[in-house]
Amino acid sequence: NADIAMYVAKEVKAGAVVFEPTEHVTAPSRLNVLGDLRRALDTDGELLLHYQPKFTLDGRHIEGLEALLRWRHPERGMVPPAEFIPVAEGTGIILRLTERVLGLALTQMRRWLDTGHPVPVAVNLSTRCLMDDDLPELVATLLAQHGVPARLLRLEVTESAVMGDAARCLDVLQRLHDLGVHLSIDDFGTGYSSMAYLRQLPVDELKIDRSFVMGMTDTQQDAVLVRTAIDLGHNLGLTVVAEGVEGAEHVAALQDLGCDIAQGFHFARPMPSDEIGPLLDRVAILPVPAAGMPTAR
């Protein structure tokens, strides 16, 4: 399975072996993954979220958290999202998975609100979800059910997702934005969006893909891309987040370029929800502007 091999190689190259290679020796077939995933959706506790904080570059404030799906498979152990999300995306099961992730995230957000931590949380959306006309209504219903203000929820969509069926995605995004939910462009730099197109999207945050950030201190091309993305984002009034910030040299370079927010192992790894509370007791949360308002900087 090429996808799995690539995922492992990437993690090893980054100097962080997150999942044991032995778990990948017998790559399960696509059918197995789907069957197991259906069962996991009906089982309590197999699917859970880890949360990775995003920091201001000086490390003094948390801007928000990104919810990252984890699958604790009864036989295979922790299965990385790269291994099952693409499979789920090929079928309608991704919609159920997304609904589950939203429910888990909102439940946790309500708990943090109740302990005095109004922390914004970002949930990743697949392309397929943006093609679903019912998504904005589902999000509105879930927000109301959990009693979480829309402005604390952020949805991340990839560039390529939005480029697919632009008119339809734009309508779904606009309705989500109208709810007061914040929107981000994820993995920026890996797709083909034009400036003119980006300008039409009701997003307020751009996340530079970690492949460019990780290469920016070694490779001139990556450095140029990161600088261009930061300038483009700022010219469009967007907050710019660098993903995959692993070293102090990256922090310094990003600070020089005026990047707003950083996410990466240098600051914090994705962690279980019970480790987030103590972190929020120590580090202040950056105030959230209203959706669609350019961030002051």
292: left (phi over 0), alpha (psi -120 to 50) or beta: left
Q: Give the residue among 172, 96, 92 at the shortest CA–CA distance from 135.
A: 172
210 near ligand C2E (CB under 6 A): yes
Instruction: Identify the residue among 265, 283, 285, 289 touching ligand C2E (CB under 6 A).
Output: 265
Radius of gyration of the chain (CA): 18
Instruction: Identify the residue among 132, 187, 205, 260 touching Mg ion (CB under 5 A).
Output: 187
Q: How far is the CB of 19 from ligand C2E (least distance, A)?
A: 9
The tokens describing 177, both together, are 């934005």
- Whether 45 and 74 have beta carbons less than 8 Å apart is answered as no
Cβ-count burial of 94 within 10 angstroms (0-12 exposed, 13-18 middle, 19+ buried)? Answer: buried
How far apart, in whole angstroms, are the C-alpha atoms of residue 126 and residue 81? 12
189 near ligand C2E (CB under 6 A): no
260 near Mg ion (CB under 5 A): no
186 near ligand C2E (CB under 6 A): yes
Of 213 and 291, the one with the shorter C-beta distance to ligand C2E is 213
Instruction: Identify the residue among 33, 54, 63, 126 touching ligand C2E (CB under 6 A).
Output: 126
Which residue type occupies 6?
A: M
- Give how many residues touch ligand C2E by CB under 6 A: 25
The tokens describing 238, both together, are 């967007």
63 near Mg ion (CB under 5 A): no
Residue ranges that bind Mg ion, judged by CB under 5 A: 124, 156, 186-187, 243
Residues that bind ligand C2E (CB under 6 A): 14, 16, 52, 68-69, 80-82, 85, 101, 124-126, 156, 186-187, 210, 243-246, 263-265, 270
